Amino acid sequence: MYSEHTCYVVGESKSPGNNAITKKYESFFAGFVVDTTNHEIVDVECTAMMDITVYFVHSLFIGKKMTDEESIEQAIRERYFGSSQKALIAAFKQAQLKYCDIMNIG
């Protein structure tokens, strides 16, 4: 399904205590499939209770560069108003750090 030029990284964070995700999973996870030739996010999945959340998260990440922290974080802050907004940002940042470490970037 994914090219040999992709890798998979996961970020984890805490979501608010009143969030259904916290009640079901205890933590918030976001997994990213990244094309290592150009750092493009080709797929993403996150712990979510509703399918529409996953679809919307796709629209925030797919086609963006894993290395473009500022524009992705800005898009999340301007467009994603779920209770796990901060958790999504934190999970992305953690996954991005892992990715940059693996790729020896910055």
Per-residue pLDDT in tens (0 to 9) along the chain, 106 residues: 999 999 999 999 976 665 555 555 568 899 999 999 999 999 999 988 789 999 999 999 999 999 999 999 999 999 999 888 999 999 999 999 999 999 999 7
Nearest-10 crossing angle of helices 85-102, 69-79: 170
d(CA 27, CA 15): 6
How many angstroms separate the Cα of 55 from the Cα of each of 58, 79, 90?
Answer: 5, 13, 19
Instruction: Please give the domain boundaries of the chain with CATH numbers for all domains.
Output: 6-102 (3.90.1010.10)
- Residue 5 has which token pair? 């030029």
